[in-house]
Structure 1
Amino acid sequence: MTIYVGNLSFQATEDDLREVFAEYGEVSRISLPTDRETGRKRGFAFVEMKDESKEDLAISELDGAEWLGRELKVNKAKPREDSRGSGGGKSLSNSPY
């Protein structure tokens, strides 16, 4: 499972996140996306932990917590939706309308 961390301070680093989440268990991976054009952080991150029960504890403890001047939004990450609009829609070729 992956944890989504939103409303993140733009000053937060991977090391900062690792330190916070390590209090709940072993962190296996952190992704801190940046804007392709500017290289600036986008204000959210993804954290993966070794133990799912520890992830659940981290989510319940950190969601809504203030960190680096921001109120964090922490929850289970949802699968990424394809924003290009390719496929996934219903075909209307057999539609009676």
Structure 2
Amino acid sequence: MNIYVSNLGYNFQIEDLVNLFIEYGVISSARIVEDKFTNKSKGFGFVEMPNRLEGEKAILELNGKEIDGRVMSVAEAPPPRERSGYQNRYR
């Protein structure tokens, strides 16, 4: 299960994200999305949990939780969009 986590503090690290979710079960991956030019956090990330029940429990208990003065939003991530390759915007 892929979980979207938003409204994170800009100093939030991957280790912080893992520490939040590890008590709910196994984490197969975690990442915080960064700006490609500044390498600073954009304030959101993703956590992958292989066990759906553990992921659903994490979402239920962490959504709306306040961390460092910010209320997190935690939800199942939508499936990735299929990209159709190069598109000419000027046609």
Task: Tell me the TM-score normalized by structure 2.
Answer: 0.85
Aligned to 2:67: 67
Q: 2:28 is matched by which residue type in structure 1? A: S
Q: Quick one: distance in 2 between partners of 1:32 and 1:25?
A: 19
Aligned to 1:78: 78
Query: Is residue 41 of structure 2 the alignment partner of residue 41 of structure 1?
Result: yes
SS in 2 for 1:43: strand
Identity %: 38
Q: Quick one: distance in 1 between partners of 2:64 and 2:36?
A: 28
Q: 1:4 is matched by which residue type in structure 2? A: Y
Larger CA Rg, structure 1 vs 2: 1
SS in 1 for 2:8: coil
* Greater fraction of residues in strand: 2
User: Would you identify which runs of 4 or more consecutive aligned residues in structure 1 move more than 6 Å?
Assistant: none
Q: Quick one: distance in 2 between partners of 1:74 and 1:47?
A: 10
Query: Is residue 53 of structure 2 the alignment partner of residue 58 of structure 1?
Result: no
Q: Quick one: distance in 2 between partners of 1:77 and 1:43?
A: 15
Task: Tell me the TM-score normalized by structure 1.
Answer: 0.80
SS in 1 for 2:37: coil
How many matched pairs? 87
Q: Quick one: distance in 1 between partners of 2:62 and 2:49?
A: 14
